Amino acid sequence: MSAVARVCRNDLIGMARNRVAVVAIVLTLLLSLVAMLTSLAHRDANAAMRARFQAEADQRFDGQPARHPHRVVHYGHFVFRVPPPLAAFDPGVDAYTGNSIFLEGHRQNSANFGDVRQSSLLARFGALTPAFVLQILAPLVLIFVGFGVFVREREAGTLRQAMAQGLRAREMVAGKLLALLIAAALLGAPGALALIWLVAAEGAPAHPALVLAMGYAGYLAIWAAVVVFVSARAATSRGALLMLLSLWAGVAILIPRVVPDFVAAARPTPTRLETDIA
């Protein structure tokens, strides 16, 4: 067995003996399952509501009395957009853009009925979906699992002993990174299974699903590398944890919600009135 494999095995055994790490990973896996089931139930409920509203709109439009076609155009008609199958995994900006539009002659209306506009401010944080678990919660679990992979051994003195026995620094880094990548793969497994199920059973396109899977795999791999790097450079376990938590709060929560406001202020888009006048 190579030195990298021995380091990886030793770290995996340490993770398995760490009750906090085991509980965090198990809870994240269960939450991923709940997120997928909740997302599917939400999608089915929205589909039923959308079909009912579309039928009512069609009935009202078809029930018009005989009139000139131009007046029929001005009467208008509601249409509803059907989200793609992969929206059950990651709905994207649907909660902000809405899913229906009122068509009428000589007017360009905007989409309506976004979930955020009809819900509390908590909806702006993100719905419980497999994508939310992978984007927000999985990196947090990786931080708690791996923030001490280097610094704890340095504090205990075992890191110096391992290096004195001939273990190279790059072998140590590679082994610990491999162990954390295995933990990341375990956290991402429910999301991958969800994508496979959406492609096989729901008719989702395979290529976008593959791109999504590769993107999230790369995202978690970057987080694993960052955790190992910070743990190797930090002086204390507390410092490593605080630094990683600050980084997570900025990257996963703060930046995605602040940057759009800065962009909107720097490059304001025309308002509805300005567009109509133009």
Residue in 110, 117, 130 with CA at minimum distance from that of residue 42: 130
| Model pLDDT for residues 8-64, shown as the tens digit of each residue | 998 899 888 888 889 999 999 999 999 999 988 988 888 888 888 888 888 888 888
Summarize pLDDT for 91-122 with one digit per residue, the tens: 887 777 777 787 777 777 666 655 555 554 44
Question: Alpha-carbon distance 131 to 207, whole Å?
Answer: 17
What's the average model confidence in pLDDT over 139-166? 85
Please report the pLDDT score of residue 25 as a whole number: 93
Residue ranges per domain, the chain?
3-37+128-266, 39-124
* Tens of pLDDT, residues 171-226: 889 999 999 999 999 999 999 999 999 999 888 899 999 999 999 999 999 999 99
CB contact set of 199 (below 8 Å; sequence gap of 6+): 205, 206, 209
